[in-house]
A and B are shown apart, each in its own frame.
Chain A
Amino acid sequence: MATARRFPARTVLLTATAWALAALFLLPYLEMVVTAGRPADQLRDDAYLPTHFDWSSFTEVWTDTTLGQNLQVTLLVAAGSTVLVLLVALPAAYYTARVRFRGRKAFLLLVLVTQMFQPTALQLGLYREFYTLGLLDTVWVLVFANAAFNLAFAIWILSAYIGSIPVELEEAARIDGTGRIGALFRVTLPLALPGVVTAVIFTFIAAWNEFVMGLTLTTSPDRQPLTVGINNMIGAYSVQWNYVFAASIVAIVPVVVLFAVIERHVVSGLTAGSVK
């Protein structure tokens, strides 16, 4: 049949297309690396590559900009909101996974809806609320706001994992004399660990990348997160693009690595609300 002849050609075409697409998706990030490595006097050249690479932007950007402070804010916000999400989502996920109670559906619906209401749509209300509370320009406001908008993902994924663990295991531990909380921590949580890891990493990445709330709720350059700090660099009168992209790479590499770890679970968490 004709397919026998056509098959290799088709495979070659598929492979070439896929590899070309992969290259296209990496191109902007490779160009960031190239730009960060351009010597300062070749930044405005239109040649594809500089004559030589100068990586000093990666050290100078720490002293010449507020990158250090911005990174510190982002680390605090990402870590803080991740801890808060876990503290709040774990009990809720556990209870909704184990117990059919009145109002369960209403609660899950509320959680789902918060996943749809994005901070961008609520930025003005958030700004007015925290202005009234006198919390603008603090790390706290970003911790709480990031935790709230990532709560849904954590509850979905944790609830799904806990629900898949047989309740008999917990009961067996309780018969053996372990308390309820003890059973939760010694039996259920270790088994739900992949879910916990996914929730932790996803929240951390989302808070790390968050831009709109940082832009709206903080004003002092040294109290703003990384994304806003980098945005400020291009607002400057003359933009030092090698610094912009050295900082961008510092911001991008950790989350790409973390994301690769949880990639398999992310789709189910993001679309879980629809099949739960």
Chain B
Amino acid sequence: MSNRTTTVRAGRRARPVRRRPLWQRLGPLPWLAPAVLLILAVVVWPAAEMVRTSLRRIDTSGTDHGPAGLVKYHKLFDDPRLPAVLTWTAVWTVVVVGLTMLVSLAMAQLFNQDFPGRKVTRWALIAPWAASVLMTAIGFRWMLDQVSGVLNRLLLDLGLIDHARAFTGDAGHAKPWLVFVAVFVSLPFTTYTLLAGLQTVPAEVYEAANVDGASRWQTYRKVTLPLLRPAFLVALVVNLINVFNSFPVIWGMTQGGPNADTATTTVFMYMLRGYDVAESAAMSVVNFAVVIVMVLLFLKVSRWNEEEN
């Protein structure tokens, strides 16, 4: 293995101070190639294929009828449903992520306190985290059922509504519930991440604030929040990416309907695929551009810039 040219070259470039001469002689290639190949085949290729498909004429059976230029992009941007889909996607992402972060801050603070049953109650959060999001969404769809949904029953009994509603039947009623469920499934990860962040705050800092006579709220705002910033930012961007891409919540509850009234871009591109693959690809490319912006944002807020000097 060591007489391969690639191996020898990489070995010479490695930093000389490390105390592992044997490993330095091994090139990275045999170790990393399987991972790189898998990523190329299943992540990079589809991304390229998506762009290519958006520039072709492809019928519903999948047959390619040659180049289409930007025709499919024009078709997409002329689609009367698109403005509403884009607006809803933006509102959806901002509202779900915003609420998730706010509620998680409070929940992390709560579960960081000492009280009877802290461990048990924390464990309850695992269910929505571990269970498939699709199934949680289907569970809520059933609980919101107009005839036999337990939430309809509960809201009636509490006098909050005067008759059973078809909560997932129209966009106006469905959207708040979609947001609720998306926040519900995002809270466990976010709360746990912030909890991990809270645990890195040294106790002396709180003691110092206490000695200086700071109130509880002052301590939280001036001491806890700034120290929580790294964990908060990472959770924020991970949530942005997850919520923007979220498919199962909407699919499980309304399938993007009625029409495309509750569809975000990811749901809309799945709906489009049924009758125009290339237009769906154009939607995917637009969607993917937003994802790339978010990834760049992540790299900025994470410590990637500082790693190598």
Does chain A have a CB within 8 A of B133? yes
Q: Which residue of A lies closest to B58 (CB)?
A: A128
Q: Is the CB of B281 within 8 A of A124?
A: yes
**Measured between C-beta atoms, what is the minimum distance from A121 to chain B in Å?**
5
Contacts of B135 in A (CB 8 A): 32, 227, 230, 248, 251-252
Does chain B have a CB within 8 A of A25? yes
**Measured between C-beta atoms, what is the minimum distance from A178 to chain B in Å?**
12
- Name the contact of B128 in the complex, choosing from A25, A149, A155 (C-beta under 8 A): A25
Q: For chains A and B in complex, what number of residue pairs have CB atoms within 8 angstroms?
A: 301
With known contacts A28-B139, A121-B266, A125-B284, A44–B147 Cβ distance under 8 A? yes
Contacts of A164 in B (CB 8 A): none
With known contacts A120-B245, A274-B303, A113–B295 Cβ distance under 8 A? yes
Contacts of A155 in B (CB 8 A): 35
List residues of B (125-152) whose CB comes within 8 Å of A's CBs: 125-136, 138-143, 147-150, 152
**Measured between C-beta atoms, what is the minimum distance from B237 to chain A in Å?**
9
B interface, over-half SS: helix
CA distance A112 to B301 in the complex (A): 14
**A-B CB contact pairs (8 Å), 15 listed:** A14-B110, A14-B115, A18-B115, A22-B125, A43-B148, A92-B31, A104-B28, A118-B242, A118-B245, A148-B42, A151-B39, A230-B135, A255-B132, A259-B130, A271-B193
User: Considering the complex of A and B, which 7 residue pairs feature the smallest CB-CB distances, nearest first?
Assistant: A125-B46, A148-B42, A274-B302, A259-B130, A125-B50, A22-B124, A95-B31
Which residues does A use to contact B, with CB under 8 Å?
11, 14-15, 17-19, 21-23, 25-26, 28-29, 31-32, 35, 43-48, 84, 87-89, 91-92, 94-96, 98-105, 107, 109-114, 116-118, 120-129, 131-132, 144-145, 147-149, 151, 155, 167, 171, 174, 180, 205, 208-209, 211-212, 215-216, 227, 230-231, 234, 241, 244-245, 248, 251-252, 255-256, 258-260, 263, 266-268, 270-271, 273-276
Known pairs A14-B113, A15-B117, A251-B135. 19 more at Cβ < 8 A? A23-B124, A28-B136, A43-B148, A46-B152, A99-B26, A116-B294, A118-B245, A122-B284, A123-B269, A125-B46, A132-B49, A151-B35, A205-B130, A209-B134, A211-B132, A211-B248, A230-B138, A231-B138, A251-B132
